[in-house]
Amino acid sequence: MKKIILILLVIFMSCKNSNPKNKNNDLIDKDIEYVDLIGDFKRKDLTKPPYDSWFTENYNNYELDIETADKIKKLLNRKLSIKVIMGTWCSDSRENVPGFFKLMDYLKFSNRKIQLIGLDVDKKNPRQDESKYEIINVPTFIFYKGGEEINRIVELTIESIEKDILKIKGNFIVTTEKDYSKLRKFNIENLYYLPITMEVSDEKTLMEKIEEKIG
């Protein structure tokens, strides 16, 4: 069986700005000025007003896939570290980051191995982390082993945060800096990619797999 790394280019709507005045932020205390977290910050910052209004609720409401989480736990490597690049203004960040932390808590994965970086509504910060880490959309979860990037999850999960991380650990999904750089030349703001490793016996089977993935 010949292993082929297939890169599917999928156009999605990028993360929208969740203005504190809209209906997605009804729980935010109107007496507290909402200022987005930019640059490095700590998880504890998300548990304080005004960010706790969405972080705590989404953390508590997230239903863990315990079966998959237990499989991840067996594969965790001590050299693993994670960067989470997000926007506190972003609806996808508000939805996915709390669930991510709920999973990390279940796995007893140290917060010291998770770096949080905030971008503004233009997906930038003064340190230009968006360029350094080649950020297209937020949130972006970048996984490192021994300081070397092994994969990333961009904005939306393929299945769920648990199943996508399990696939990373099981090497079913492959992302490399080389693959990622190829996409940058397209210069399309709302573009991100799903790198998928699959085993196929011939070109016909490969085309069938592609059609199946892109529907």
pTM given for the model: 0.69
Q: Decide if 106 is inside a domain.
A: yes
Amino acid 38: pLDDT? 96
Which domain range does residue 24 map to? Answer: 16-178
CB atoms within 10 A of CB 129: 20
Q: Hunting for tokens 């994969």 — which residue is that?
A: 151
> What does the alpha-carbon distance between residue 156 and residue 68 come to, in Å, rounded to a whole number?
18
Q: List pLDDT tens digits, range 157-204.
A: 888 999 888 877 644 333 344 444 544 444 433 333 344 444 545 556
We report the CATH number of the domain holding residue 87 as 3.40.30.10
- 208 located within any domain: no
User: What's the confidence (pLDDT) of residue 177?
Assistant: 44
Residue type, 162: E
Residue 185 domain-assigned (yes or no): no
Please give the pLDDT value at position 22: 34
Q: How much is the mean pLDDT over the chain?
A: 75
**Conformational region of residue 39, where left means phi above 0, alpha means psi within -120 to 50, and beta covers everything else:** left
What's the total number of domains in the chain? Answer: 1
3 lies in some domain: no
* Residue-level pLDDT at 215: 45
Query: Is residue 157, in this structure, part of any structural domain at all?
Result: yes
User: What's the pLDDT at 207?
Assistant: 58
pLDDT tens digits, 39-93: 999 999 999 999 999 999 999 999 999 999 998 888 787 788 999 999 999 999 9
User: How does strand 80-86 pair with strand 114-118?
Assistant: parallel
Task: Label residues 54-68 b or e (16+ Cβ within 10 Å = b).
Answer: bbeebbeebebbeeb
Q: Which amino acid, 192?
A: Y
